[in-house]
Amino acid sequence: MASDKRALIVGIGGQDGALLARFLLDRGYTVHGTSRDHEMASFGNLKRLGLYDRIRLHSASLGDYRAIVEIMSVVKPTEVYNLAAQSSVGLSFSQPVNTINSTVLGVINILEALRFLCLDARLYNASSGECFGNTGPEGATETTPFQPRSPYAVGKAAGHWAVANYRDAYKIFACSGLLFNHESPLRPRRFVTRKIVAGAVDIANRRADRLQLGDLAIVRDWGWAEEYVAAMWMMLQQDEPRDYVIATGAPRALREFVAAAFDAVGLNWENHVDFDPALSRPSDVAYSVGRPERAARELGWRAKADMDDVVRWLVEEELRRPREA
């Protein structure tokens, strides 16, 4: 890869940001990343992956247009990846204003900075499969109408259409990835996948006896995050910018995920899991699955890992994790 490839990852401290940084560094990119205050942020994911000293970090709030312009002017990126903003669907119900504001204002500030500076840069924006709401068994494609059912999804849907508007109006190379659930050991415990896996390991090691969960009947499309960040990069290597659904296309119920996690540590989940109605969301998505045919056809991208692979790898990593983590 040519050494003049400069990537700016906005929101580099999260799961996807850290994994994408590793992916790009392996391909010869110079990688810059932002955080609200890079001197105070822990960047635990970057350190865990051994990347912290290889990234050029900058402080910027996505709500501060001037700061975004200044960083863009200094870095002069060839590729920009917007992965920032509040990322938990559940948390968005208790923080709706912050979630929507950060999601929408952030992407518009980035788009405006690209337009104002006339940078020859390509933008990837993290949209979400949550924008579709209930997809039904038939699944969602890039042309399926949005029906968001959470503040998180509302913000992502608005950001998605902002990208489409700037792409059409100002001919900016900008695209959005409609990514469905994708997991890795970098997830914090507030995400249900990590909560389940950590809970099963704790119970197997006699550090706990019960696990409280919400509705186990919901159906999701579970993928492996390392594969999904590769799709982000692939989108920016195309001749024309387009939006893509990134998913496995294989729907599985949360109950199956729970059963697989407990089975991996030699336990029957039904003996240890309780339903807690307080953990159910005000308006949840019952069925969420993507149809990634366009990505397969145009990007050559296909998910290799399925839910069983994801659970196995998460459990293996959790068993290696120090207890205090």
Q: Which CATH class name applies to 189-220+251-286+306-320?
A: alpha beta
Average pLDDT over residues 144-155: 93
Q: Which of the four pLDDT bands, split at 50, 70 and 90, describes residue 35?
A: confident
Look up residue 313 and give its amino acid.
Answer: W
Active site residues: 128, 130, 152
DSSP secondary-structure letter at 130? G
**Of 49-53, 65-69, 261-265, 276-280, the least confident:** 276-280
Q: Which of the four pLDDT bands, split at 50, 70 and 90, describes residue 325?
A: very low
CA distance 197 to 258: 8
CA distance 303 to 296: 9
Instruction: Please report, for the chain, the start and end positions of each structural domain, with discontinuous segments joined by +.
Output: 6-182+222-246, 189-220+251-286+306-320
If one counts every other C-beta atom within 10 angstroms of the C-beta of residue 53, the result is: 7
> What tens digit of pLDDT does each residue of 185-243 get?
999 888 999 999 999 999 999 999 999 999 999 999 999 999 999 999 999 999 999 99
Average pLDDT over residues 45-52: 95
How deeply is 66 buried, as exposed, middle or buried, from its count of CB atoms within 10 A (0-12, 13-18, 19+)? Answer: exposed
Would you say residue 40 has pLDDT above 70? no
Q: For domain 6-182+222-246, is the CATH number 3.40.50.720?
A: yes
For residue 309, what is the enclosing H or E element? helix 307-320
Would you say residue 96 has pLDDT above 50? yes
Token duo for residue 36: 């609200």
pLDDT for position 181: 96
pLDDT for position 1: 44
Pairwise pLDDT comparison (282 vs 109), residue with the higher score? 109
Query: How many residues make up the chain in this entry?
Result: 325
> What tens digit of pLDDT does each residue of 15-27 get?
999 999 999 999 9
Would you say residue 38 has pLDDT above 80? no
